[in-house]
Chains A and B, each alone.
Chain A
Amino acid sequence: MRPKRSALIATHVILALATFLFLAPILYALIKSTQTLGASTSTSLAIGDQFFSNAWNAMDRFNLGRMMGNTVFVTAMVTLGKTVLSLGAATAFVYFRFRLQGLAFALVLFTLMMPTEALIRALYDLVGGLGMLNSYEGLILPFMASATGTFLFRQHFLRIPRDLVEAAQVDGVGPFRFLGTFLVPLSWNIIGASAVIDVVYMWNMYLWPRWAVTDPDVMMVQVGLVRLLSEQQVNHYGIIMAGAVITMIPPLIIFMLLQERFTRGFALSGDK
């Protein structure tokens, strides 16, 4: 049954209003990013022609280009690492029986409630002791394992018919090849879903990279942009906003590429 016409109109009005409110700050940032120094520190909402100059300034003069590269690299490595490691761990939990399996599972389960941020000082001392402050390793390694990913894949594997393992074993396929040639191709939707979560997580990360890295060559872009602002290296808001706009691009691409997979990844349910 479709909703009544009046209800439909009301729905559209509310949705349009909400969409406007959610988009307004982004549109504002987009407009500001095109303005000259003078216009950017006025209430003007005129679209200027300075976007490329502002963006170039942000990327080149203030090193945000390099920092964007760092962020993309670190995000990609963590996402890849988390995916591979959790696929492996999930396989171990579902397709094997070994001693202390319950304990190992609980050990992974418990980390769901251990946010790295709460351990900041201890982690800082540890990573410092390992000589990994101001390095990519220091930004990547602590985040390589994922309880979330492990559970997601375990869940998915439990739904795959067991005949598949038996058939594989009859054909003499070992566990690693089974993972590579059977499980992975059957898991793309879940891999996509968990990749979206990982990318959002890494893109949002601020606390750890802010303290773990002071070298601008390794710094992540969110941290670099806040620094530009707080150390008042720039009072040209056009440049700051251009920097902000550029950082939106990679996650937007990921969302568009993976949105369908993401939704399907969670919608693969038994009642369909």
Chain B
Amino acid sequence: MAQTTAQGEATATSPPPGSDQGSKPPRKRRTSAFAHTHEATFPQRGAAFWLLLPTVIILSIFLYYPMLRTFWMSLYNIRFYGQQRRFVGFDNFVRLFTDPGSFDAVVRTAVISTIVIVATISIALFLAALLNQRGIRGARIYRLLLIWPLALSTAISGIVFLVLFNPNFGMVNAVLAPFGIEPEWFRDRTLAQTVMILTLIWNRVGFNLVFYTAAYQSLPSETLEAALVDGANPWQRFRYITFHLLSPMTLFLLVTSTVFAFFDAYAVAEVFGGGPLNATSILIYEVTENAFRDDRIGLAAAQSLLLFLAVAFITVVQLRQGRKRVTYQ
């Protein structure tokens, strides 16, 4: 029994922020999370009300209300900026997948996001693994330099890359020119998407690296030393132990990276103007075009909800995995 508790506590101690596998480990604990009446609490319930009130008010007004409102809008065909509306049920959602233009945007977003998510997480994990070996001199300096791109907002990263890949005076073509390659990066759909993906990866790896580094520092050294005694080679130690111990962090970063690829990528799409021929027009960019320019608020709402559902799905997967993950403790 004592052991179980200790394990629960150990799990609860190194949570990635916002993920919540730390905050509510096994299901059993969760239901009883508010039932440890034996633990000392304050009897002044009025105080709890005031402490919680601001959070509840802000979340209700600025998240829950717009959420419900978005659901409502997605069921209507809204024209003339709200002047005219007609109930259409799930037609907007059907359109997402049947209208060729809309469906292309869905596919495009899925492809670009998947590449960005997988690349940012694996590159960050790889760098964190290198940096956290013993005896790497200057690891701190490498780390500080590697997270520098994080200081540039995504929009500004987009601007820098736009200049970097400029076909006339950009650095990239200046380097490639002697080899006889001078791509017109922003005239070709695939090339423009490539630059967008590179921008997003470059901008985000640092974020994931910071979190992996933090996770590395709370790895139980006994487990790793035991593996060393057992004669596991570095790759085996990483593959079978470290990777598993880091899996809650990986799941957490999966969620944050998805949010990044779905929503923060908007800034890059706008800097690139969504083009050429909609190549960089990912769903969230389509949402704003439909909601603010093209007078298709209902469709925009349906597109938003698709993104929301994808994030919700991944979050739920994360929470479930977080509960039954391997801990080796």
CB closest chain-A residue, reference B203: A204
Q: Bound state CA distance, A48 and B50, in angstroms?
A: 57
Beta-carbon contact of B148 and A155 below 8 Å: no
- Interface residues of B, dominant DSSP: helix
A207 and B267 form a contact (CB under 8 A): yes
Assess the B213–A88 pair: CB atoms within 8 A: no
Q: Is B131 in the interface zone, CB < 8 Å from A?
A: yes
**Contact yes or no, B159 A22, CB < 8 A:** no
Is residue A181 contacting chain B, with contact meaning CB distance below 8 A?
Answer: no
User: What is the total number of residues of chain B having a CB less than 8 Å from a CB of chain A?
Assistant: 121
Least CB distance from B203 to A in Å reads 8
Q: Does B196 have its Cβ within 8 Å of any Cβ on chain A?
A: no
How many chain A residues touch B (CB < 8 A): the figure is: 120
Q: Complex formed: what's the CA distance from A265 to B63 in Å? A: 28
B154 touches A204 (CB 8 A): yes
Asked if A151 and B18 sit within 8 Å, CB to CB, the answer is: yes
Please indicate the chain A residues that have their CB under 8 angstroms from the CB of B169 in the complex.
41-43
Q: Is the CB of A88 within 8 A of B52?
A: yes
User: Does A240 sit within 8 A of B, measured CB to CB?
Assistant: yes
Over the window 106-128 of chain A, the binary record of Cβ atoms lying under 8 Å from chain B Cβ atoms (1 yes, 0 no) is 01110111111111111111100
Q: Is A263 touching B217 in the complex (CB atoms < 8 A)? A: yes
- Say whether B130 faces chain A, with CB atoms less than 8 Å apart: yes
Asked whether A152 lies within 8 Å of B18 as measured between CB atoms, the reply is yes
Given contacts A118-B305, A225-B156, contact A270 B147 (CB under 8 A): no
A222: interface (CB < 8 Å): yes
Residue B110 is within 8 A (CB to CB) of chain A in the complex: no
Q: Is the CB of B214 within 8 A of A207?
A: no
Determine whether A66 belongs to the interface, using a CB cutoff of 8 Å to chain B: no
Q: Does A91 contact B (CB under 8 A)?
A: yes
By a CB distance below 8 angstroms, the chain A residues around B300 are 121
**Contact A223-B130, Cβ < 8 Å, known A22-B145, A262-B210:** no
The 7 closest A-B pairs by CB, nearest first: A148-B18, A266-B214, A122-B66, A96-B48, A145-B58, A269-B218, A206-B267
**Contacts A/B (CB < 8 Å), 5 sampled:** A25-B160, A41-B168, A112-B315, A119-B67, A144-B54
